[in-house]
């Protein structure tokens, strides 16, 4: 009845093939999690669509029919329409990086006709903060000693006897 195996030998151990397969799977998942993800935002008409727009002839309505309405319009008297398209690269834990940006600006004259059509790229622009929603205060945050001293006057011994 001797099988050549000592009782308990190999018990609780995983086969080497299964262990190495699990290790390869974990390694592949870790590498896939670190691979960059590209995301596209916005819309800008291409040159073929812009070729149908005639400067001095088309109006806001005809531009909207030909290339659609933009996501942002001019701030001063509806002077221009801006189409913005960007491409961002998300790599793991790092902040997303804008690798491509395209802005198409269609300007209108006083009669509402197209005055100019311009295209700008990432290399033409610079980062501009349109609004800053941070409240800055000159008051430093309270430290632990000031918090303790502030609570001294709030102590009422009668609260312990109720």
Residue 45 CB coordination number (10 Å): 22
Q: How far is CA 34 from CA 38, 56, 91, 92, 149, in A?
A: 13, 51, 7, 5, 50
Find out if CATH 3.30.1450 is the number for domain 55-123: yes
Checking if the pLDDT of 23 tops 70, the result is yes
Average pLDDT over residues 72-80: 61
pLDDT-derived band at 76, boundaries 50, 70, 90: very low
What is the number of other CB atoms lying within 10 angstroms of the CB of residue 53?
16
pLDDT of residue 79: 79
Q: Of the ranges 12-21, 89-98, 131-140, which one carries the lowest mean pLDDT score?
A: 131-140
Across the range 131-155, mean pLDDT stands at 64
How far is residue 120's CA from residue 39's CA, in Å, rounded to a whole number?
Answer: 20
pLDDT in tens, 27-49: 877 766 677 888 888 888 999 99
Q: What angle do CA 29, 34, 39 make, to 5 degrees?
A: 115
Report whether pLDDT(155) > 90.
no
- pTM for this predicted structure: 0.57
Are 52 and 95 in contact, with CB atoms under 8 Å apart? no
Kindly report, residue by residue over 80-133, the tens digit of the pLDDT: 888 888 899 888 777 888 888 888 888 888 888 999 998 888 776 655 444 444
> What does the buried/exposed string (b/e) look like for 93-120 if buried means 16 or more CB atoms within 10 Å of the residue's CB?
eeeeeeeebbbbbbebeeeebbeebeee
């Amino acid at each position: 009845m001797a099988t050549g195996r000592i009782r308990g030998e190999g018990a609780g151990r995983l086969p080497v093939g299964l262990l190495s397969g699990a290790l390869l799977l974990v390694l592949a998942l870790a590498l896939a999690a670190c691979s960059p993800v590209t995301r596209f935002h916005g819309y800008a008409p291409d040159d073929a669509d812009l070729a149908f727009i005639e400067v001095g002839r088309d109006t806001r309505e005809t531009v909207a029919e030909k290339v659609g309405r933009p996501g942002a319009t001019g701030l001063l008297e509806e002077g221009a329409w801006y189409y913005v398209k960007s491409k961002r690269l998300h790599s793991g834990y790092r902040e997303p990086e804008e690798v491509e940006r395209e802005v198409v600006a269609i300007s209108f004259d006083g009669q509402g006709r197209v005055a100019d059509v311009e295209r700008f790229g990432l290399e033409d622009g610079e980062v501009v903060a349109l609004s800053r929603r941070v409240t800055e205060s000159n008051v430093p945050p309270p430290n632990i000693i000031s918090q303790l001293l502030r609570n001294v006057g709030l102590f009422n011994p009668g609260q312990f006897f109720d």
